[in-house]
């Protein structure tokens, strides 16, 4: 191995850093701080925060009355926020402002009579939270094929999960042009996502392989892997340092390292050190 190129930017984005700072500050003020679901899609970082006292509840029904509760960067639905209020929870809202923008667009356009179409993964907490901000008709599409199955409507508003590829948003918008008399498209893909995706594309032709570091359920990490594969790169996706595979490194002179927006810098540094030792 001659060279390791760490993509720039890579790893924690603004919204994740902000949420972790919020948790750390809350834990410095009191022992019991709760999160509904994993606060970020990285098991090692969640383990580190749990060791500091963070408690992860599976659902809002597990939150004790009056508890201090952190809303993660993905945001929460109105129903969950109402339930927290009923339980007297003291909420620290760390919804990323870029996710909030997508929620606000969805809420406003639905109220104006648009049928909302969300591009993203229907199981992802960010999409579930946006769905929970809309009272009117709403559909979730994962790709162009899903969009083409939608029936024709008078007014449609297309909003994207913040971690999608802009190319996919453009393709879905093109498919929906034929489905509505009036189509309103909001580009809610966040800049941190675009910059990290461009950094992966920038490695094409410069490296013999790309190591993707990030949680398996991290949507933005999955996109980085997809982009590397689509650009013909040999990819190894690892969730943690134990998955580093010496065999994959064999015969490679240059490798690139990219990490999802929920991957901490300390893990990227550990991966680089392990490669150096190997």
- The catalytic site residues sit at 126
Closer residue to ligand SF4 in complex, CB, 156/161 = 161
Return the residue nearest ligand SF4 (CB atom): 15
For the chain, give the secondary structure using H, E and C: CCEEEECCCCCCCHHHHHHHHHHHHHHHHCCCEEEECCCCCCHHHHHHHHHCCEEEECCHHHCCCCCEEEECCCCCCHHHHHHHHHCCCEEEECCCHHHHHHHHHHHHHHHCCCEEEEECCCCCHHHHHHHCCCCCCEEEECCHHHHHCCCCEEEEEEEECCCCCHHHHHHHHHHHHCCEEEEEEECCCCHHHHHHHHHHHCCCCCCCEEEEECCCCCHHHHHHHHHHHHCCCCEEEECCHHHCCHHHHCCCCEEEEEECCCCCHHHHHHHHHHHHHC
Question: Cβ 98 to ligand SF4, closest distance in Å?
Answer: 4
Q: Torsion over CA of 64, 68, 72 and 78, rounded to 10 degrees?
A: 70
Minimum CB distance to ligand SF4 smaller for 160 or for 209 = 160
Other beta carbons within 10 angstroms of residue 24's beta carbon come to: 13
The answer to whether 52 and 25 have CB atoms below 8 angstroms apart is no
CB of 61 to ligand SF4, least distance (A): 26
User: Taking the complex as a whole, how short is the minimal distance between the CB of residue 106 and ligand SF4, in angstroms?
Assistant: 14
Give me the least distance between CB of 191 and ligand SF4, in Å please: 7
Residues contributing to the site for ligand SF4 (CB under 6 A): 13-16, 73, 96, 98-99, 162-163, 190, 192-193, 220, 261
């Amino acid at each position: 191995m001659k060279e390791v190129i760490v993509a720039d930017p890579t790893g924690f984005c603004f919204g994740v850093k902000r949420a972790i700072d919020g948790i750390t500050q809350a834990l410095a003020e009191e022992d019991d701080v709760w999160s509904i679901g994993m606060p970020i899609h990285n098991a090692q970082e969640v383990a580190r925060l749990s060791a500091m006292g963070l408690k992860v509840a599976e659902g809002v029904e597990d939150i004790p009355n009056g508890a201090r509760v952190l809303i993660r960067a993905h945001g929460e639905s109105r129903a969950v926020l109402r339930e927290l209020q009923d339980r007297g929870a003291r909420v620290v809202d760390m919804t990323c402002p870029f996710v909030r923008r997508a929620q606000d667009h969805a809420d406003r356009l639905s109220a104006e009579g648009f049928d909302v179409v969300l591009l993203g993964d229907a199981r992802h907490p960010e999409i579930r939270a946006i769905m929970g901000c809309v009272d009117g008709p709403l559909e979730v599409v994962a790709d162009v094929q899903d969009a083409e199955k939608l029936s024709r409507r008078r007014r449609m508003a297309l909003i994207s999960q913040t971690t999608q590829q802009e190319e996919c948003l453009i393709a879905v918008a093109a498919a929906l042009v034929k489905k509505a008399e009036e189509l309103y498209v909001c580009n809610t893909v966040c800049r941190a996502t675009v910059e990290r995706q461009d950094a992966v594309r920038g490695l094409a032709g410069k490296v013999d392989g790309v190591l993707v570091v990030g949680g398996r359920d991290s949507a933005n990490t999955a996109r980085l892997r997809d982009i590397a594969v689509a650009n013909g790169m040999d990819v190894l996706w690892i969730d943690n340092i134990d998955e580093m595979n010496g065999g994959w490194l064999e015969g490679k002179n240059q490798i690139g390292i990219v990490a999802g927006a929920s991957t901490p810098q300390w893990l990227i540094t550990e991966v680089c050190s392990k490669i150096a030792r190997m």
